[in-house]
Structure 1
């Protein structure tokens, strides 16, 4: 009986430690992949280089389906909270121009079977990363429950109707998520 109580009390802690260890191992692998790249004055250019390298090494064109249900949006403190059925996604420190990605169901918690997006921040476009007006590359931080630091993700949006003069708002209206990949933990 005492063993069962101890296991019941320590089981969740053990599971959290195991998951945290798996995340740390995955992050370490990504850091080793980029370990030679240390001559950057700030974090921004370093993250842009990581994103471009990840895109070049791991790119796989895979159009995602937009969320099919109703998306409910509300403001909670300084976050935008989006509800997709039983799942929620919080967006904070995200420029208003990008909120349509969540409201229109382009990005949502279960958009990719390997990743769960529950808190997103610091979404940026890497304007210099692509030469085609039909494809745009972005980065974002994803904050998961079991980690202290965010994880950097890179993703591509494709809009076959876009031209050189297409602005960001118009581009996002007709965009489809065609690639998303976890780059690694940000320290």
Structure 2
């Protein structure tokens, strides 16, 4: 019976060790034409035996190459993952700085708006205070004028009371009446 091609088993390993294509295994010594005759009598077994190790060797080399390729791909994958992690960290850092910048910009805008509103309120209060001051000044002028007008007769009577002539004149005026 022929064995499965490319399979991994003890039979293939034993055949690979005994095969003439395996450079690491010692070749059995032929004792002359008898050994050659036995090989020629069983060509189908020899062909199966020789083809199986060749395929095993090809599979082994493919496995070794595949293993190296897989290892290289794993390294590339790890490098790509590290790069992705670095980029994610940079994106997070940039988002944080944009948030801070937005907060600063928002703060400036808010401060500017608040200051503009405060200036508008102060201007309105100043205009109101100016109007109140003008009204108070006019009222003060009127009060001073009224006091001056009311104080004028008192000063003439005081002046008249202070001098004897004026007092007599005032008494005579009242007496004549």
Query: What's the TM-score once normalised by structure 2's chain length?
Result: 0.18
Q: Which has the larger radius of gyration?
A: 2
Which of the two has greater helix per residue?
A: 2
* Structure with more contact order per residue of length (Cα contacts < 8 Å, sep ≥ 6): 1
Query: What's the TM-score once normalised by structure 1's chain length?
Result: 0.17
